[in-house]
Chains A and B, each alone.
Chain A
Amino acid sequence: MTDRNNIPVTEDELHAYVDNELPPERRSDVEAWLSTHPEDAERVRSWRAMADALHARYDQVANEPVPKRLELERLMQQPRKWLYGAVAASLLAFIAGGGAGWIAHGVAASPSNFQSFTDDALDAHRLYVVEVRHPVEVPGNERAHLQAWLTKRCGWNVRAPELDATGLKLVGGRLLPGPSGPASFLMYESASGERFTVYTAKASTETTQMRFTTQDKDGAMFWADRGVGYVVSGTSDRERLGQVARLVYDQSDRAEKNGR
Protein backbone atom coordinates (compact mmCIF):
# COMPACT_ATOMS: atom_id res chain seq x y z
CA MET A 1 0.00 0.00 0.00
CA THR A 2 1.26 3.43 -0.85
CA ASP A 3 1.24 6.55 1.23
CA ARG A 4 -1.45 8.03 -0.90
CA ASN A 5 -3.71 5.28 0.22
CA ASN A 6 -3.60 6.88 3.62
CA ILE A 7 -5.78 9.68 2.35
CA PRO A 8 -9.17 8.25 3.28
CA VAL A 9 -11.67 7.77 0.50
CA THR A 10 -14.84 9.75 1.15
CA GLU A 11 -18.35 8.62 0.35
CA ASP A 12 -18.55 11.29 -2.33
CA GLU A 13 -15.52 9.73 -3.96
CA LEU A 14 -17.13 6.30 -3.93
CA HIS A 15 -20.11 7.69 -5.79
CA ALA A 16 -17.88 9.58 -8.19
CA TYR A 17 -15.90 6.40 -8.76
CA VAL A 18 -19.01 4.44 -9.74
CA ASP A 19 -20.26 7.27 -11.95
CA ASN A 20 -16.90 7.81 -13.70
CA GLU A 21 -16.67 11.30 -12.31
CA LEU A 22 -13.45 10.70 -10.39
CA PRO A 23 -10.20 12.25 -11.64
CA PRO A 24 -8.32 9.39 -13.31
CA GLU A 25 -5.31 9.74 -10.98
CA ARG A 26 -7.49 8.95 -7.99
CA ARG A 27 -9.11 5.81 -9.39
CA SER A 28 -6.36 3.42 -8.41
CA ASP A 29 -6.42 4.83 -4.88
CA VAL A 30 -10.08 4.08 -4.60
CA GLU A 31 -9.59 0.60 -6.01
CA ALA A 32 -6.88 -0.07 -3.43
CA TRP A 33 -9.14 1.27 -0.70
CA LEU A 34 -11.99 -1.00 -1.77
CA SER A 35 -9.78 -4.06 -1.60
CA THR A 36 -9.23 -3.42 2.08
CA HIS A 37 -12.65 -2.02 3.01
CA PRO A 38 -15.26 -4.72 2.32
CA GLU A 39 -18.20 -2.63 3.50
CA ASP A 40 -17.41 0.11 1.02
CA ALA A 41 -16.80 -2.51 -1.65
CA GLU A 42 -20.22 -3.93 -0.90
CA ARG A 43 -21.84 -0.51 -1.25
CA VAL A 44 -20.15 0.04 -4.59
CA ARG A 45 -21.30 -3.39 -5.71
CA SER A 46 -24.88 -2.67 -4.65
CA TRP A 47 -24.92 0.64 -6.54
CA ARG A 48 -23.77 -1.12 -9.69
CA ALA A 49 -26.45 -3.77 -9.23
CA MET A 50 -28.96 -0.95 -8.82
CA ALA A 51 -27.91 0.56 -12.14
CA ASP A 52 -28.22 -2.88 -13.76
CA ALA A 53 -31.72 -3.27 -12.32
CA LEU A 54 -32.75 0.14 -13.64
CA HIS A 55 -31.53 -0.72 -17.11
CA ALA A 56 -33.12 -4.16 -16.97
CA ARG A 57 -36.43 -2.56 -16.07
CA TYR A 58 -36.50 0.53 -18.27
CA ASP A 59 -34.26 0.03 -21.32
CA GLN A 60 -37.05 -1.87 -23.01
CA VAL A 61 -39.09 1.36 -23.06
CA ALA A 62 -36.40 2.98 -25.18
CA ASN A 63 -36.46 -0.01 -27.51
CA GLU A 64 -40.21 0.10 -28.09
CA PRO A 65 -41.33 1.64 -31.36
CA VAL A 66 -42.16 5.31 -30.78
CA PRO A 67 -45.95 5.77 -30.53
CA LYS A 68 -47.54 7.66 -33.38
CA ARG A 69 -48.62 10.51 -31.18
CA LEU A 70 -44.97 11.31 -30.43
CA GLU A 71 -43.97 11.64 -34.07
CA LEU A 72 -42.60 15.11 -34.68
CA GLU A 73 -44.44 15.58 -37.97
CA ARG A 74 -47.69 15.08 -36.13
CA LEU A 75 -46.79 17.26 -33.19
CA MET A 76 -45.81 20.16 -35.38
CA GLN A 77 -49.34 20.46 -36.72
CA GLN A 78 -51.37 19.24 -33.82
CA PRO A 79 -52.93 21.54 -31.30
CA ARG A 80 -53.00 19.19 -28.34
CA LYS A 81 -55.17 19.35 -25.31
CA TRP A 82 -57.78 21.87 -26.33
CA LEU A 83 -59.03 19.34 -28.83
CA TYR A 84 -60.14 16.90 -26.18
CA GLY A 85 -61.88 19.56 -24.16
CA ALA A 86 -63.34 20.82 -27.38
CA VAL A 87 -65.26 17.69 -28.12
CA ALA A 88 -66.72 17.53 -24.64
CA ALA A 89 -67.57 21.19 -24.86
CA SER A 90 -69.26 20.67 -28.18
CA LEU A 91 -71.54 18.18 -26.50
CA LEU A 92 -72.23 20.60 -23.71
CA ALA A 93 -73.23 23.08 -26.37
CA PHE A 94 -75.37 20.38 -27.89
CA ILE A 95 -77.28 20.00 -24.65
CA ALA A 96 -77.49 23.70 -23.89
CA GLY A 97 -78.26 24.98 -27.37
CA GLY A 98 -79.53 22.66 -29.99
CA GLY A 99 -80.87 20.13 -27.57
CA ALA A 100 -83.86 22.23 -26.74
CA GLY A 101 -84.74 22.34 -30.41
CA TRP A 102 -84.59 18.64 -30.72
CA ILE A 103 -86.75 18.09 -27.68
CA ALA A 104 -89.29 20.49 -29.10
CA HIS A 105 -89.21 18.78 -32.45
CA GLY A 106 -90.92 15.50 -31.87
CA VAL A 107 -93.88 14.75 -29.65
CA ALA A 108 -92.39 11.36 -28.91
CA ALA A 109 -89.11 12.82 -27.70
CA SER A 110 -89.51 12.83 -23.98
CA PRO A 111 -87.10 15.14 -22.19
CA SER A 112 -85.90 12.41 -19.88
CA ASN A 113 -84.97 10.16 -22.75
CA PHE A 114 -83.24 12.96 -24.57
CA GLN A 115 -81.43 14.03 -21.46
CA SER A 116 -80.04 10.60 -20.89
CA PHE A 117 -78.99 10.34 -24.53
CA THR A 118 -76.86 13.45 -24.28
CA ASP A 119 -75.67 12.58 -20.80
CA ASP A 120 -74.42 9.28 -22.12
CA ALA A 121 -72.73 10.94 -25.07
CA LEU A 122 -71.13 13.46 -22.78
CA ASP A 123 -69.93 10.80 -20.37
CA ALA A 124 -68.50 8.85 -23.26
CA HIS A 125 -66.53 11.83 -24.45
CA ARG A 126 -65.28 12.69 -21.02
CA LEU A 127 -64.10 9.14 -20.63
CA TYR A 128 -62.64 8.32 -23.98
CA VAL A 129 -61.72 11.38 -25.96
CA VAL A 130 -59.16 12.40 -23.37
CA GLU A 131 -57.78 8.89 -23.68
CA VAL A 132 -54.70 9.30 -25.79
CA ARG A 133 -53.28 5.85 -25.95
CA HIS A 134 -56.45 3.78 -25.93
CA PRO A 135 -59.17 5.94 -27.42
CA VAL A 136 -60.95 2.96 -28.96
CA GLU A 137 -61.69 -0.64 -28.23
CA VAL A 138 -61.42 -1.96 -31.78
CA PRO A 139 -58.90 -0.26 -34.06
CA GLY A 140 -59.88 1.17 -37.43
CA ASN A 141 -57.87 -1.39 -39.38
CA GLU A 142 -60.42 -3.97 -38.25
CA ARG A 143 -63.28 -2.07 -39.80
CA ALA A 144 -65.26 -5.10 -40.95
CA HIS A 145 -65.08 -6.72 -37.55
CA LEU A 146 -65.91 -3.42 -35.83
CA GLN A 147 -69.03 -2.94 -37.98
CA ALA A 148 -70.23 -6.50 -37.61
CA TRP A 149 -69.74 -6.40 -33.87
CA LEU A 150 -71.43 -3.03 -33.32
CA THR A 151 -74.30 -3.97 -35.62
CA LYS A 152 -74.86 -7.17 -33.72
CA ARG A 153 -74.75 -5.49 -30.34
CA CYS A 154 -76.64 -2.29 -31.19
CA GLY A 155 -79.35 -3.85 -33.29
CA TRP A 156 -79.25 -1.43 -36.21
CA ASN A 157 -76.93 -1.39 -39.16
CA VAL A 158 -73.75 0.29 -37.90
CA ARG A 159 -71.50 1.32 -40.77
CA ALA A 160 -68.27 3.20 -40.09
CA PRO A 161 -68.50 5.80 -42.86
CA GLU A 162 -65.57 6.37 -45.21
CA LEU A 163 -64.49 9.94 -44.53
CA ASP A 164 -61.27 9.87 -46.54
CA ALA A 165 -62.72 12.47 -48.86
CA THR A 166 -62.50 14.93 -45.96
CA GLY A 167 -59.04 13.76 -44.94
CA LEU A 168 -60.25 11.67 -42.01
CA LYS A 169 -59.19 8.16 -41.16
CA LEU A 170 -61.06 5.83 -38.84
CA VAL A 171 -59.21 5.51 -35.53
CA GLY A 172 -61.66 2.86 -34.39
CA GLY A 173 -64.69 2.48 -32.23
CA ARG A 174 -66.20 1.13 -29.10
CA LEU A 175 -69.48 -0.02 -27.68
CA LEU A 176 -71.08 2.13 -24.99
CA PRO A 177 -74.14 1.92 -22.81
CA GLY A 178 -76.73 4.22 -24.35
CA PRO A 179 -79.99 5.59 -22.94
CA SER A 180 -82.07 2.62 -24.03
CA GLY A 181 -79.60 -0.06 -24.95
CA PRO A 182 -76.17 0.03 -26.50
CA ALA A 183 -74.61 2.95 -28.38
CA SER A 184 -71.80 2.98 -30.90
CA PHE A 185 -68.94 5.41 -30.74
CA LEU A 186 -66.56 5.96 -33.67
CA MET A 187 -63.50 8.16 -33.72
CA TYR A 188 -61.83 9.72 -36.76
CA GLU A 189 -58.61 11.61 -37.06
CA SER A 190 -56.92 13.70 -39.73
CA ALA A 191 -53.21 13.65 -40.53
CA SER A 192 -52.84 16.78 -38.46
CA GLY A 193 -54.47 15.18 -35.41
CA GLU A 194 -57.86 16.87 -35.80
CA ARG A 195 -60.44 14.52 -34.26
CA PHE A 196 -64.11 13.93 -35.00
CA THR A 197 -66.42 11.50 -33.28
CA VAL A 198 -69.66 9.91 -34.38
CA TYR A 199 -71.98 8.79 -31.58
CA THR A 200 -75.12 6.86 -32.42
CA ALA A 201 -77.80 5.59 -30.11
CA LYS A 202 -81.45 4.69 -30.33
CA ALA A 203 -83.45 7.94 -30.31
CA SER A 204 -87.03 8.29 -29.26
CA THR A 205 -87.61 10.54 -32.26
CA GLU A 206 -88.00 8.90 -35.62
CA THR A 207 -86.45 11.58 -37.83
CA THR A 208 -85.20 15.15 -37.42
CA GLN A 209 -83.39 17.66 -39.55
CA MET A 210 -79.70 18.10 -39.16
CA ARG A 211 -78.90 20.78 -36.64
CA PHE A 212 -75.75 22.65 -35.85
CA THR A 213 -74.57 24.08 -32.60
CA THR A 214 -71.36 25.80 -31.64
CA GLN A 215 -69.52 27.11 -28.66
CA ASP A 216 -66.15 28.82 -28.96
CA LYS A 217 -64.00 26.64 -31.18
CA ASP A 218 -66.21 23.58 -31.06
CA GLY A 219 -69.19 22.38 -32.98
CA ALA A 220 -71.61 19.50 -33.23
CA MET A 221 -74.03 18.35 -35.91
CA PHE A 222 -76.83 16.11 -34.81
CA TRP A 223 -79.92 14.53 -36.22
CA ALA A 224 -82.13 11.50 -35.94
CA ASP A 225 -82.79 9.14 -38.78
CA ARG A 226 -85.12 6.13 -38.67
CA GLY A 227 -85.10 6.14 -34.92
CA VAL A 228 -81.32 6.38 -34.58
CA GLY A 229 -79.74 9.54 -33.19
CA TYR A 230 -76.41 10.74 -34.58
CA VAL A 231 -74.01 13.23 -33.04
CA VAL A 232 -70.98 14.29 -35.10
CA SER A 233 -68.65 16.46 -33.04
CA GLY A 234 -65.48 18.29 -33.91
CA THR A 235 -64.48 21.68 -35.16
CA SER A 236 -66.79 24.70 -34.97
CA ASP A 237 -65.95 25.49 -38.57
CA ARG A 238 -69.46 24.95 -39.80
CA GLU A 239 -68.45 24.28 -43.35
CA ARG A 240 -65.88 21.69 -42.33
CA LEU A 241 -68.10 19.99 -39.78
CA GLY A 242 -71.01 20.09 -42.19
CA GLN A 243 -68.91 18.43 -44.86
CA VAL A 244 -68.07 15.61 -42.45
CA ALA A 245 -71.61 15.28 -41.12
CA ARG A 246 -73.02 15.25 -44.63
CA LEU A 247 -70.75 12.36 -45.57
CA VAL A 248 -71.83 10.49 -42.45
CA TYR A 249 -75.47 11.19 -43.22
CA ASP A 250 -75.25 10.18 -46.87
CA GLN A 251 -73.50 6.94 -46.12
CA SER A 252 -75.80 5.91 -43.30
CA ASP A 253 -78.71 6.67 -45.60
CA ARG A 254 -77.25 4.54 -48.35
CA ALA A 255 -76.41 1.74 -45.93
CA GLU A 256 -80.01 1.71 -44.69
CA LYS A 257 -81.43 1.57 -48.19
CA ASN A 258 -79.06 -1.19 -49.19
CA GLY A 259 -79.83 -3.02 -46.01
CA ARG A 260 -83.53 -3.12 -46.73
Chain B
Amino acid sequence: MSAFRQSVEAMIPALRRYARALARDADIADDLVQDTLVRALRSERLFLGGDVRSWLYTILTNLNKNRRRSLARRPQFMPLLENNPDASGTEAEGRDIARALSTLVEEQRAVLLLVMLEGLSYREVADIQGVPIGTVMSRLARARAHVKASLEGARPALRRVK
Protein backbone atom coordinates (compact mmCIF):
# COMPACT_ATOMS: atom_id res chain seq x y z
CA MET B 1 0.00 0.00 0.00
CA SER B 2 1.35 3.42 -0.91
CA ALA B 3 2.37 5.97 1.71
CA PHE B 4 -0.56 8.08 0.60
CA ARG B 5 -3.04 5.29 1.23
CA GLN B 6 -1.47 4.48 4.54
CA SER B 7 -1.90 8.03 5.73
CA VAL B 8 -5.50 8.03 4.51
CA GLU B 9 -6.17 4.76 6.29
CA ALA B 10 -4.67 6.02 9.53
CA MET B 11 -7.18 8.86 9.50
CA ILE B 12 -10.33 6.73 9.26
CA PRO B 13 -11.02 6.48 13.02
CA ALA B 14 -10.68 10.23 13.52
CA LEU B 15 -12.80 10.96 10.46
CA ARG B 16 -15.52 8.71 11.82
CA ARG B 17 -15.44 10.52 15.14
CA TYR B 18 -15.67 13.91 13.48
CA ALA B 19 -18.43 12.79 11.13
CA ARG B 20 -20.45 11.27 13.95
CA ALA B 21 -20.36 14.48 15.93
CA LEU B 22 -21.01 16.57 12.85
CA ALA B 23 -23.90 14.57 11.38
CA ARG B 24 -25.15 13.01 14.63
CA ASP B 25 -26.54 9.96 12.83
CA ALA B 26 -24.26 6.94 12.73
CA ASP B 27 -25.30 5.79 9.25
CA ILE B 28 -25.10 9.22 7.69
CA ALA B 29 -21.75 9.75 9.39
CA ASP B 30 -20.25 6.59 7.92
CA ASP B 31 -21.74 7.47 4.53
CA LEU B 32 -19.90 10.75 4.75
CA VAL B 33 -16.65 9.01 5.65
CA GLN B 34 -17.12 6.51 2.85
CA ASP B 35 -17.74 9.25 0.29
CA THR B 36 -14.75 11.15 1.64
CA LEU B 37 -12.49 8.13 1.24
CA VAL B 38 -13.78 7.33 -2.24
CA ARG B 39 -13.20 10.90 -3.30
CA ALA B 40 -9.74 10.95 -1.74
CA LEU B 41 -8.71 7.72 -3.43
CA ARG B 42 -10.03 8.94 -6.75
CA SER B 43 -8.06 12.14 -6.39
CA GLU B 44 -4.84 10.48 -5.29
CA ARG B 45 -3.07 11.57 -8.45
CA LEU B 46 -4.28 15.12 -7.96
CA PHE B 47 -2.91 15.28 -4.45
CA LEU B 48 0.45 16.98 -4.69
CA GLY B 49 1.84 16.55 -1.22
CA GLY B 50 0.80 18.62 1.74
CA ASP B 51 -1.24 17.61 4.74
CA VAL B 52 -3.45 14.61 4.06
CA ARG B 53 -5.20 15.11 7.39
CA SER B 54 -6.40 18.66 6.67
CA TRP B 55 -7.33 17.67 3.16
CA LEU B 56 -9.55 14.81 4.35
CA TYR B 57 -11.26 17.03 6.90
CA THR B 58 -11.85 19.54 4.13
CA ILE B 59 -13.50 16.97 1.87
CA LEU B 60 -15.70 15.68 4.66
CA THR B 61 -16.71 19.17 5.79
CA ASN B 62 -17.66 20.12 2.23
CA LEU B 63 -19.58 16.91 1.63
CA ASN B 64 -21.57 17.53 4.76
CA LYS B 65 -22.30 21.07 3.66
CA ASN B 66 -23.59 19.76 0.32
CA ARG B 67 -25.64 17.13 2.06
CA ARG B 68 -27.30 19.69 4.29
CA ARG B 69 -27.94 21.96 1.37
CA SER B 70 -29.84 19.22 -0.42
CA LEU B 71 -31.65 18.31 2.80
CA ALA B 72 -32.74 21.90 3.26
CA ARG B 73 -35.00 21.57 0.25
CA ARG B 74 -36.87 18.74 1.88
CA PRO B 75 -39.00 18.72 4.99
CA GLN B 76 -36.98 18.16 8.10
CA PHE B 77 -37.51 15.30 10.48
CA MET B 78 -35.98 15.45 13.89
CA PRO B 79 -35.02 12.11 15.41
CA LEU B 80 -36.76 11.41 18.67
CA LEU B 81 -33.80 9.48 19.94
CA GLU B 82 -30.14 9.52 19.19
CA ASN B 83 -29.31 6.87 16.65
CA ASN B 84 -26.47 5.44 18.70
CA PRO B 85 -26.62 6.58 22.27
CA ASP B 86 -23.47 5.48 24.00
CA ALA B 87 -23.73 2.97 26.74
CA SER B 88 -20.92 4.39 28.83
CA GLY B 89 -21.26 5.99 32.20
CA THR B 90 -21.14 9.41 30.61
CA GLU B 91 -24.30 8.74 28.70
CA ALA B 92 -26.35 11.57 30.15
CA GLU B 93 -23.55 14.01 29.66
CA GLY B 94 -22.89 12.68 26.17
CA ARG B 95 -26.50 13.21 25.15
CA ASP B 96 -26.47 16.70 26.50
CA ILE B 97 -23.42 17.64 24.51
CA ALA B 98 -24.92 16.01 21.42
CA ARG B 99 -28.11 17.97 21.87
CA ALA B 100 -26.20 21.18 22.40
CA LEU B 101 -24.23 20.53 19.21
CA SER B 102 -27.42 20.00 17.26
CA THR B 103 -28.55 23.54 18.01
CA LEU B 104 -25.47 25.09 16.39
CA VAL B 105 -25.43 26.37 12.85
CA GLU B 106 -23.35 24.29 10.50
CA GLU B 107 -20.15 26.37 10.25
CA GLN B 108 -20.00 26.93 13.97
CA ARG B 109 -20.41 23.25 14.71
CA ALA B 110 -17.64 22.38 12.26
CA VAL B 111 -15.25 24.92 13.81
CA LEU B 112 -16.02 23.80 17.33
CA LEU B 113 -15.45 20.14 16.50
CA LEU B 114 -12.35 20.66 14.41
CA VAL B 115 -10.71 22.70 17.15
CA MET B 116 -11.98 21.06 20.33
CA LEU B 117 -12.43 17.43 19.29
CA GLU B 118 -9.95 16.99 16.45
CA GLY B 119 -7.32 19.38 17.78
CA LEU B 120 -6.72 21.33 14.58
CA SER B 121 -5.13 24.78 14.65
CA TYR B 122 -7.05 27.94 13.83
CA ARG B 123 -4.93 28.22 10.68
CA GLU B 124 -5.88 24.73 9.52
CA VAL B 125 -9.56 25.33 10.19
CA ALA B 126 -9.40 28.64 8.30
CA ASP B 127 -7.98 26.76 5.30
CA ILE B 128 -10.59 24.02 5.59
CA GLN B 129 -13.46 26.50 5.62
CA GLY B 130 -11.82 28.92 3.21
CA VAL B 131 -12.23 31.89 5.53
CA PRO B 132 -9.84 34.24 7.41
CA ILE B 133 -8.59 33.22 10.85
CA GLY B 134 -10.65 36.04 12.39
CA THR B 135 -13.82 34.38 11.11
CA VAL B 136 -12.78 31.07 12.60
CA MET B 137 -12.21 32.73 15.96
CA SER B 138 -15.54 34.52 16.00
CA ARG B 139 -17.34 31.32 14.96
CA LEU B 140 -15.59 29.44 17.71
CA ALA B 141 -16.46 32.08 20.32
CA ARG B 142 -20.11 32.07 19.31
CA ALA B 143 -20.25 28.29 19.24
CA ARG B 144 -18.76 28.00 22.71
CA ALA B 145 -21.11 30.60 24.15
CA HIS B 146 -24.08 28.85 22.55
CA VAL B 147 -23.13 25.36 23.73
CA LYS B 148 -22.38 26.64 27.23
CA ALA B 149 -25.79 28.27 27.44
CA SER B 150 -27.45 25.18 26.05
CA LEU B 151 -25.73 22.86 28.53
CA GLU B 152 -26.56 25.07 31.46
CA GLY B 153 -30.13 25.50 30.33
CA ALA B 154 -30.51 21.76 29.95
CA ARG B 155 -29.17 20.95 33.38
CA PRO B 156 -30.25 23.66 35.78
CA ALA B 157 -29.71 21.35 38.75
CA LEU B 158 -26.03 21.09 37.97
CA ARG B 159 -25.47 24.76 37.51
CA ARG B 160 -22.45 25.98 39.35
CA VAL B 161 -22.27 24.78 42.92
CA LYS B 162 -20.28 27.17 45.01
Contacts and interface: CB of A to CB of B under 8 A. Distances in A.
- Most B CB within 10 A of own CB, among A50, A63, A64, A133: A50
A133 to B, nearest CB: 5
A117 B98 CA distance: 43
A50 B116 contact: yes
B8 A72 contact: yes
A19 B94 contact: no
Contacts of B38: 75, 80
Nearest to A53: B97
Given A54-B116, A69-B34, A133 B26 contact: yes
Contacts of A69: 30, 34
A66 B31 contact: no
A58 B20 contact: yes
Contacts of A57: 21, 86, 90, 93-94, 97-98
Which secondary structure dominates where chain B touches chain A? helix
Contact of A75 (B37, B86, B137): B37
Given A72-B5, A72-B9, A132 B97 contact: no
Interface residues of B, number: 44
A4 B161 CA distance: 33
B72 to A, nearest CB: 20
Between B5, B12, B34, the greatest number of chain A beta carbons within 10 A of the residue's beta carbon is seen for B34
Contacts of A21: 121-122
B13 interface: yes
Contacts of B122: 16, 19, 21
Contact of A11 (B88, B97, B113, B141): B141
Contacts of B160: 42
B140 A66 contact: no
B13 A66 contact: yes
Given A11-B141, A60-B86, 12 more contacts: A16-B122, A19-B140, A46-B148, A47-B148, A53-B97, A57-B94, A58-B21, A70-B30, A72-B41, A75-B34, A76-B41, A132-B30
Interface string A49-89: 01101111111111110110110100110001000000000
Most buried by B among A55, A62, A132: A62
Contacts of B13: 61-64, 66
Q: How many of chain A's residues touch chain B, expressed as a range?
A: 20 to 34
A67 B37 CA distance: 13
A160 B42 CA distance: 36
20 contacts: A11-B141, A15-B140, A46-B148, A50-B116, A53-B94, A54-B117, A55-B117, A58-B117, A60-B86, A61-B20, A62-B14, A62-B16, A64-B16, A69-B34, A70-B12, A70-B34, A70-B37, A72-B41, A75-B41, A76-B41
Given A64-B16, A66-B13, A66-B16, A15 B88 contact: no
A50 B14 contact: no
A25 interface: no
Interface string B53-90: 00000000000000000000000000000000010101
Contact of B33 (A11, A15, A47, A70): A70
B17 A62 contact: yes
Contacts of B107: none
A81 to B, nearest CB: 9
Contacts of B151: 50, 53
